[in-house]
Amino acid sequence: MAQYTIIATSTFGLESVVARELRKLGYSDMTVENGKVTFRGNEDDIARCNIWLRTADRVFIKVADFEARDFEELFRGTRDIRWDEMIPADGKMHVIGRSVSSKLASVKDCQSIVKKAVIEAMKASHSIDQFPETGPLYRIEISLLRDKATLTLDTTGQGLHRRGYREETGEAPLRENLAAALVLLSRWSPERILADPFCGSGTIPIEAAMIGRNIAPGLKRSFASEGWPQIPRHIWDTTRKEARDKANNLPFRILASDNDARVLKKARENAVNAGAGDCIVFQKLSFEEFRSRKKYGLIICNPPYGERMGDSGEIEKICKKMGETFAILDSWSFFILSAYPQFQIYFGKKATRNRKLYNGGIKCYLYEYLGPRIKAVKSEQ
Protein backbone atom coordinates (compact mmCIF):
# COMPACT_ATOMS: atom_id res chain seq x y z
CA MET A 1 0.00 0.00 0.00
CA ALA A 2 1.06 3.60 -0.60
CA GLN A 3 2.17 5.70 2.34
CA TYR A 4 0.73 9.19 2.81
CA THR A 5 1.21 12.14 5.08
CA ILE A 6 -2.24 12.45 6.63
CA ILE A 7 -3.61 15.58 8.30
CA ALA A 8 -6.57 15.50 10.69
CA THR A 9 -7.79 19.07 11.08
CA SER A 10 -9.61 20.35 14.15
CA THR A 11 -11.29 23.35 15.67
CA PHE A 12 -8.90 25.56 17.64
CA GLY A 13 -8.44 24.16 21.13
CA LEU A 14 -9.27 20.55 20.26
CA GLU A 15 -5.93 19.49 18.77
CA SER A 16 -4.93 17.54 21.87
CA VAL A 17 -8.28 15.74 21.91
CA VAL A 18 -7.86 14.68 18.28
CA ALA A 19 -4.31 13.50 19.08
CA ARG A 20 -5.66 11.46 22.01
CA GLU A 21 -8.20 9.82 19.69
CA LEU A 22 -5.45 8.98 17.19
CA ARG A 23 -3.30 7.41 19.91
CA LYS A 24 -6.27 5.26 20.91
CA LEU A 25 -6.56 4.17 17.27
CA GLY A 26 -2.93 3.05 17.38
CA TYR A 27 -0.99 6.01 15.94
CA SER A 28 2.07 7.21 17.82
CA ASP A 29 4.36 9.31 15.61
CA MET A 30 2.32 12.52 15.33
CA THR A 31 2.97 16.25 15.00
CA VAL A 32 0.42 18.44 16.80
CA GLU A 33 0.08 22.04 15.57
CA ASN A 34 -2.57 24.74 15.64
CA GLY A 35 -5.66 23.33 14.00
CA LYS A 36 -4.18 20.02 12.86
CA VAL A 37 -2.49 16.74 13.74
CA THR A 38 -0.14 15.20 11.15
CA PHE A 39 0.90 11.54 10.93
CA ARG A 40 1.76 8.83 8.37
CA GLY A 41 -0.63 6.20 7.08
CA ASN A 42 -1.98 4.22 4.15
CA GLU A 43 -5.36 3.69 2.49
CA ASP A 44 -6.61 1.63 5.46
CA ASP A 45 -5.74 4.50 7.78
CA ILE A 46 -7.62 7.03 5.67
CA ALA A 47 -10.78 4.91 5.89
CA ARG A 48 -10.28 4.16 9.60
CA CYS A 49 -9.76 7.80 10.58
CA ASN A 50 -12.75 9.05 8.61
CA ILE A 51 -15.02 6.43 10.17
CA TRP A 52 -13.69 6.63 13.75
CA LEU A 53 -12.57 10.20 14.52
CA ARG A 54 -15.18 11.95 16.67
CA THR A 55 -13.59 15.36 17.24
CA ALA A 56 -11.70 16.12 14.00
CA ASP A 57 -13.12 18.33 11.23
CA ARG A 58 -11.70 16.58 8.16
CA VAL A 59 -8.99 14.15 7.04
CA PHE A 60 -6.60 15.36 4.33
CA ILE A 61 -3.73 13.88 2.35
CA LYS A 62 -0.78 16.26 2.22
CA VAL A 63 0.43 16.50 -1.39
CA ALA A 64 3.30 19.01 -1.15
CA ASP A 65 4.49 22.24 0.40
CA PHE A 66 6.84 24.89 -1.02
CA GLU A 67 7.63 28.62 -0.94
CA ALA A 68 5.21 30.73 -2.98
CA ARG A 69 5.91 34.46 -2.76
CA ASP A 70 4.41 35.19 -6.18
CA PHE A 71 2.05 33.58 -8.68
CA GLU A 72 4.90 32.16 -10.77
CA GLU A 73 6.29 30.23 -7.78
CA LEU A 74 2.79 28.99 -6.95
CA PHE A 75 2.21 27.87 -10.54
CA ARG A 76 5.56 26.12 -10.94
CA GLY A 77 5.39 24.42 -7.54
CA THR A 78 1.92 23.06 -8.31
CA ARG A 79 2.66 22.05 -11.90
CA ASP A 80 5.74 20.04 -10.89
CA ILE A 81 3.64 17.62 -8.79
CA ARG A 82 2.72 14.22 -10.28
CA TRP A 83 -1.02 14.79 -10.05
CA ASP A 84 -1.65 11.88 -12.42
CA GLU A 85 -0.54 9.50 -9.64
CA MET A 86 -3.40 10.76 -7.47
CA ILE A 87 -6.15 11.96 -9.83
CA PRO A 88 -7.47 9.86 -12.76
CA ALA A 89 -7.98 11.42 -16.20
CA ASP A 90 -11.76 11.69 -15.60
CA GLY A 91 -11.41 13.08 -12.06
CA LYS A 92 -13.48 16.14 -11.18
CA MET A 93 -11.17 18.77 -9.71
CA HIS A 94 -12.41 21.49 -7.37
CA VAL A 95 -9.96 23.92 -5.75
CA ILE A 96 -10.59 25.79 -2.51
CA GLY A 97 -8.11 27.99 -0.64
CA ARG A 98 -7.12 30.25 2.20
CA SER A 99 -4.31 32.69 2.82
CA VAL A 100 -2.90 33.99 6.08
CA SER A 101 -0.03 36.49 6.42
CA SER A 102 1.14 35.88 2.83
CA LYS A 103 2.01 38.10 -0.14
CA LEU A 104 -0.50 36.13 -2.22
CA ALA A 105 -3.56 37.40 -0.39
CA SER A 106 -6.17 36.92 -3.13
CA VAL A 107 -7.59 33.46 -2.46
CA LYS A 108 -9.66 33.50 -5.64
CA ASP A 109 -6.58 34.17 -7.81
CA CYS A 110 -4.59 31.47 -5.98
CA GLN A 111 -7.36 28.93 -6.60
CA SER A 112 -7.38 29.81 -10.30
CA ILE A 113 -3.59 29.48 -10.58
CA VAL A 114 -3.58 26.11 -8.82
CA LYS A 115 -6.40 24.72 -11.00
CA LYS A 116 -4.56 25.87 -14.16
CA ALA A 117 -1.27 24.33 -12.98
CA VAL A 118 -2.93 21.00 -12.08
CA ILE A 119 -4.53 20.80 -15.53
CA GLU A 120 -1.20 21.60 -17.22
CA ALA A 121 0.47 18.82 -15.24
CA MET A 122 -2.34 16.40 -16.08
CA LYS A 123 -2.14 17.29 -19.80
CA ALA A 124 1.55 16.46 -19.88
CA SER A 125 1.06 13.15 -18.05
CA HIS A 126 -2.02 11.91 -19.91
CA SER A 127 -1.15 13.45 -23.30
CA ILE A 128 -4.67 14.87 -23.71
CA ASP A 129 -5.95 18.45 -23.88
CA GLN A 130 -9.52 18.08 -22.59
CA PHE A 131 -10.61 16.50 -19.31
CA PRO A 132 -14.25 15.39 -19.00
CA GLU A 133 -14.31 15.66 -15.19
CA THR A 134 -17.08 13.07 -15.04
CA GLY A 135 -15.37 10.86 -12.46
CA PRO A 136 -14.98 11.08 -8.67
CA LEU A 137 -14.52 14.46 -6.97
CA TYR A 138 -11.04 15.52 -5.84
CA ARG A 139 -11.20 18.56 -3.61
CA ILE A 140 -7.80 20.26 -3.67
CA GLU A 141 -7.02 22.83 -0.98
CA ILE A 142 -4.31 25.48 -1.37
CA SER A 143 -3.33 26.90 2.01
CA LEU A 144 -0.90 29.81 2.23
CA LEU A 145 0.71 30.67 5.56
CA ARG A 146 3.55 33.20 5.72
CA ASP A 147 4.35 32.64 2.01
CA LYS A 148 4.49 28.87 2.31
CA ALA A 149 2.02 26.97 0.13
CA THR A 150 0.59 23.63 1.27
CA LEU A 151 -1.46 21.54 -1.14
CA THR A 152 -3.80 18.86 0.22
CA LEU A 153 -6.55 16.52 -0.96
CA ASP A 154 -9.73 16.34 1.12
CA THR A 155 -10.63 12.68 1.72
CA THR A 156 -13.72 13.48 3.80
CA GLY A 157 -16.10 15.69 1.81
CA GLN A 158 -18.77 17.09 4.12
CA GLY A 159 -17.26 17.79 7.55
CA LEU A 160 -16.90 14.91 9.99
CA HIS A 161 -19.48 16.53 12.28
CA ARG A 162 -22.11 15.35 9.77
CA ARG A 163 -22.79 11.97 11.38
CA GLY A 164 -25.94 11.20 9.47
CA TYR A 165 -28.29 10.76 12.44
CA ARG A 166 -29.55 14.34 12.71
CA GLU A 167 -31.94 15.53 10.01
CA GLU A 168 -33.39 18.48 11.87
CA THR A 169 -32.02 20.52 14.74
CA GLY A 170 -33.17 22.91 17.39
CA GLU A 171 -32.04 26.52 17.29
CA ALA A 172 -28.28 27.20 17.27
CA PRO A 173 -27.24 23.52 17.39
CA LEU A 174 -23.97 22.39 18.87
CA ARG A 175 -21.76 20.67 16.31
CA GLU A 176 -21.46 16.94 16.87
CA ASN A 177 -17.65 16.89 16.96
CA LEU A 178 -17.57 19.66 19.59
CA ALA A 179 -20.20 17.82 21.66
CA ALA A 180 -18.09 14.65 21.48
CA ALA A 181 -15.04 16.67 22.55
CA LEU A 182 -16.88 17.94 25.65
CA VAL A 183 -17.66 14.36 26.63
CA LEU A 184 -14.08 13.19 26.04
CA LEU A 185 -12.66 16.17 27.95
CA SER A 186 -14.89 15.31 30.92
CA ARG A 187 -13.40 11.76 31.04
CA TRP A 188 -16.93 10.39 31.47
CA SER A 189 -17.43 6.63 31.53
CA PRO A 190 -20.75 4.70 31.43
CA GLU A 191 -20.42 3.70 35.10
CA ARG A 192 -21.14 7.31 36.03
CA ILE A 193 -24.50 9.08 35.74
CA LEU A 194 -24.50 11.79 33.06
CA ALA A 195 -27.08 14.52 32.51
CA ASP A 196 -27.71 17.44 30.14
CA PRO A 197 -30.52 19.72 31.42
CA PHE A 198 -30.31 21.89 28.26
CA CYS A 199 -30.29 19.02 25.78
CA GLY A 200 -32.07 20.73 22.84
CA SER A 201 -31.89 18.39 19.84
CA GLY A 202 -29.87 15.92 21.93
CA THR A 203 -26.37 16.32 20.54
CA ILE A 204 -24.40 16.00 23.81
CA PRO A 205 -26.29 12.97 25.22
CA ILE A 206 -26.30 11.25 21.81
CA GLU A 207 -22.55 11.72 21.33
CA ALA A 208 -21.98 10.47 24.88
CA ALA A 209 -24.14 7.41 24.23
CA MET A 210 -22.21 6.67 21.04
CA ILE A 211 -18.97 6.88 23.02
CA GLY A 212 -20.38 4.64 25.74
CA ARG A 213 -21.55 2.09 23.18
CA ASN A 214 -18.35 2.47 21.11
CA ILE A 215 -20.39 3.31 18.00
CA ALA A 216 -18.12 4.71 15.28
CA PRO A 217 -19.40 8.19 14.31
CA GLY A 218 -18.90 7.69 10.55
CA LEU A 219 -20.83 4.44 10.15
CA LYS A 220 -23.95 6.04 8.67
CA ARG A 221 -22.40 8.39 6.13
CA SER A 222 -20.24 8.37 3.01
CA PHE A 223 -16.93 10.11 2.29
CA ALA A 224 -15.48 11.84 -0.77
CA SER A 225 -12.62 9.38 -1.13
CA GLU A 226 -14.93 6.35 -1.29
CA GLY A 227 -15.13 6.94 -5.02
CA TRP A 228 -11.38 7.17 -5.52
CA PRO A 229 -9.78 4.23 -7.38
CA GLN A 230 -6.71 4.30 -5.10
CA ILE A 231 -8.85 3.31 -2.09
CA PRO A 232 -10.58 0.05 -3.11
CA ARG A 233 -14.19 -0.56 -2.11
CA HIS A 234 -13.25 -3.56 0.04
CA ILE A 235 -11.19 -1.33 2.37
CA TRP A 236 -14.27 0.72 3.26
CA ASP A 237 -16.45 -2.39 3.59
CA THR A 238 -13.92 -4.12 5.86
CA THR A 239 -13.38 -1.03 8.02
CA ARG A 240 -17.12 -0.54 8.51
CA LYS A 241 -17.64 -4.20 9.38
CA GLU A 242 -14.82 -4.05 11.95
CA ALA A 243 -16.39 -0.91 13.43
CA ARG A 244 -19.83 -2.53 13.69
CA ASP A 245 -18.27 -5.55 15.40
CA LYS A 246 -16.62 -3.33 18.03
CA ALA A 247 -19.88 -1.71 19.17
CA ASN A 248 -21.23 -2.96 22.52
CA ASN A 249 -24.55 -3.15 24.35
CA LEU A 250 -23.47 -1.87 27.76
CA PRO A 251 -26.47 -1.01 29.95
CA PHE A 252 -26.35 2.61 31.13
CA ARG A 253 -28.64 5.63 31.32
CA ILE A 254 -28.06 9.22 30.28
CA LEU A 255 -30.52 11.89 31.44
CA ALA A 256 -31.52 14.50 28.85
CA SER A 257 -34.05 17.23 29.54
CA ASP A 258 -35.32 20.47 28.03
CA ASN A 259 -38.40 22.63 28.48
CA ASP A 260 -39.18 22.64 24.73
CA ALA A 261 -41.34 19.66 23.71
CA ARG A 262 -40.76 20.35 20.01
CA VAL A 263 -36.96 19.93 20.15
CA LEU A 264 -37.30 16.96 22.51
CA LYS A 265 -39.29 15.15 19.83
CA LYS A 266 -36.44 15.73 17.39
CA ALA A 267 -33.91 14.66 20.01
CA ARG A 268 -35.67 11.32 20.50
CA GLU A 269 -35.73 10.74 16.73
CA ASN A 270 -32.03 11.63 16.45
CA ALA A 271 -31.14 9.24 19.27
CA VAL A 272 -32.98 6.37 17.56
CA ASN A 273 -31.25 7.16 14.26
CA ALA A 274 -27.88 7.09 16.04
CA GLY A 275 -28.58 3.69 17.57
CA ALA A 276 -28.68 5.14 21.08
CA GLY A 277 -32.41 5.47 21.73
CA ASP A 278 -32.49 2.87 24.50
CA CYS A 279 -29.84 4.42 26.76
CA ILE A 280 -31.04 8.05 26.89
CA VAL A 281 -34.02 9.11 29.02
CA PHE A 282 -35.58 12.28 27.57
CA GLN A 283 -37.83 14.38 29.77
CA LYS A 284 -39.63 17.70 29.37
CA LEU A 285 -38.22 19.61 32.30
CA SER A 286 -36.92 23.10 33.02
CA PHE A 287 -33.29 23.11 34.16
CA GLU A 288 -34.35 24.65 37.50
CA GLU A 289 -36.36 21.50 38.21
CA PHE A 290 -33.45 19.12 37.67
CA ARG A 291 -32.81 16.92 40.71
CA SER A 292 -31.03 13.63 41.29
CA ARG A 293 -30.40 11.40 44.29
CA LYS A 294 -27.39 9.89 42.54
CA LYS A 295 -23.93 10.79 43.83
CA TYR A 296 -20.80 11.79 41.88
CA GLY A 297 -22.73 12.47 38.69
CA LEU A 298 -21.68 14.63 35.78
CA ILE A 299 -23.47 17.43 33.95
CA ILE A 300 -22.28 18.46 30.49
CA CYS A 301 -24.34 21.23 28.94
CA ASN A 302 -24.47 24.14 26.50
CA PRO A 303 -26.92 26.63 28.06
CA PRO A 304 -28.32 29.65 26.15
CA TYR A 305 -25.94 32.58 25.86
CA GLY A 306 -25.54 35.96 24.13
CA GLU A 307 -25.50 34.95 20.47
CA ARG A 308 -28.55 32.77 21.06
CA MET A 309 -30.67 35.12 23.19
CA GLY A 310 -29.56 38.73 22.82
CA ASP A 311 -30.89 39.77 26.26
CA SER A 312 -27.99 39.92 28.73
CA GLY A 313 -30.40 40.34 31.65
CA GLU A 314 -32.11 37.05 30.83
CA ILE A 315 -28.75 35.31 30.44
CA GLU A 316 -27.63 36.56 33.84
CA LYS A 317 -30.80 35.15 35.41
CA ILE A 318 -30.16 31.76 33.81
CA CYS A 319 -26.54 31.71 34.99
CA LYS A 320 -27.55 32.65 38.53
CA LYS A 321 -30.33 30.05 38.65
CA MET A 322 -27.94 27.42 37.29
CA GLY A 323 -25.53 28.18 40.12
CA GLU A 324 -28.28 27.77 42.70
CA THR A 325 -29.67 24.56 41.12
CA PHE A 326 -26.31 22.89 40.62
CA ALA A 327 -25.08 23.81 44.11
CA ILE A 328 -27.49 21.22 45.52
CA LEU A 329 -25.58 18.53 43.61
CA ASP A 330 -22.54 18.95 45.85
CA SER A 331 -20.81 15.71 44.80
CA TRP A 332 -21.28 16.28 41.06
CA SER A 333 -18.94 17.74 38.43
CA PHE A 334 -20.02 20.23 35.78
CA PHE A 335 -18.69 20.96 32.28
CA ILE A 336 -20.49 24.03 30.99
CA LEU A 337 -19.87 25.58 27.55
CA SER A 338 -20.75 29.27 27.40
CA ALA A 339 -19.90 32.32 25.30
CA TYR A 340 -21.13 34.69 28.01
CA PRO A 341 -17.96 36.43 29.30
CA GLN A 342 -19.35 36.99 32.82
CA PHE A 343 -20.64 33.46 33.27
CA GLN A 344 -18.56 32.66 36.37
CA ILE A 345 -19.65 35.85 38.14
CA TYR A 346 -23.36 35.12 37.80
CA PHE A 347 -22.97 31.37 38.27
CA GLY A 348 -21.50 32.31 41.63
CA LYS A 349 -18.38 30.18 41.56
CA LYS A 350 -15.01 30.24 39.86
CA ALA A 351 -14.32 27.25 37.65
CA THR A 352 -11.63 24.73 38.58
CA ARG A 353 -10.24 25.45 35.10
CA ASN A 354 -11.48 26.67 31.74
CA ARG A 355 -10.60 26.09 28.10
CA LYS A 356 -11.17 28.40 25.12
CA LEU A 357 -13.13 26.71 22.32
CA TYR A 358 -15.14 27.77 19.28
CA ASN A 359 -18.74 26.76 18.59
CA GLY A 360 -18.99 27.61 14.90
CA GLY A 361 -17.45 31.08 14.78
CA ILE A 362 -18.42 31.94 18.36
CA LYS A 363 -15.68 32.09 20.98
CA CYS A 364 -16.72 30.12 24.05
CA TYR A 365 -15.17 28.80 27.23
CA LEU A 366 -15.62 25.36 28.68
CA TYR A 367 -15.96 25.95 32.43
CA GLU A 368 -14.95 22.85 34.36
CA TYR A 369 -16.19 22.47 37.94
CA LEU A 370 -14.66 19.31 39.35
CA GLY A 371 -16.42 17.62 42.25
CA PRO A 372 -14.77 15.40 44.87
CA ARG A 373 -13.00 12.32 43.61
CA ILE A 374 -15.03 9.20 44.38
CA LYS A 375 -12.09 7.27 45.82
CA ALA A 376 -11.01 10.20 47.97
CA VAL A 377 -14.49 10.62 49.43
CA LYS A 378 -14.92 6.92 50.13
CA SER A 379 -11.55 6.74 51.92
CA GLU A 380 -12.68 9.48 54.33
CA GLN A 381 -15.90 7.64 55.28
- Give the tens place of pLDDT for each residue, 296-349: 999 999 998 755 545 678 899 999 999 999 999 999 999 999 999 999 999 999
Instruction: Check residue 81 and give its pLDDT.
Output: 97
Q: Which domains does the chain have, with CATH numbers?
A: 4-154 (3.30.2130.30), 176-215+247-380 (3.40.50.150)
Question: How far, in Å, CA of 283 to CA of 295, rounded?
Answer: 20
Instruction: Check residue 377 and give its pLDDT.
Output: 42
Instruction: Check residue 305 and give its pLDDT.
Output: 74
Q: Crossing angle, helix 233-246 and helix 43-52, to 10 degrees?
A: 40
Question: How far, in Å, CA of 183 to CA of 189, rounded?
Answer: 9
Q: Where are the beta strands (DSSP E) in the chain?
A: 4-9, 31-33, 36-41, 58-67, 92-100, 137-145, 148-154, 194-196, 254-258, 280-284, 298-301, 333-338, 353-359, 362-369
Residue 67's beta-bridge partner residues? 148
Instruction: Check residue 22 and give its pLDDT.
Output: 98
Instruction: Check residue 310 and give its pLDDT.
Output: 54
Q: What is the model's pTM?
A: 0.93
Instruction: Check residue 13 and give its pLDDT.
Output: 94
Residues lower than pLDDT 70 in the chain = 168-172, 306-311, 375-381
Question: How far, in Å, CA of 47 to CA of 324, rounded?
Answer: 47
Instruction: Check residue 379 and give its pLDDT.
Output: 42
Instruction: Check residue 361 and give its pLDDT.
Output: 84
**Identity at 211, one-letter amino acid code:** I
Instruction: Check residue 172 and give its pLDDT.
Output: 53
- Give the tens place of pLDDT for each residue, 265-296: 999 999 999 999 999 999 999 999 999 999 99
Instruction: Check residue 380 and give its pLDDT.
Output: 40
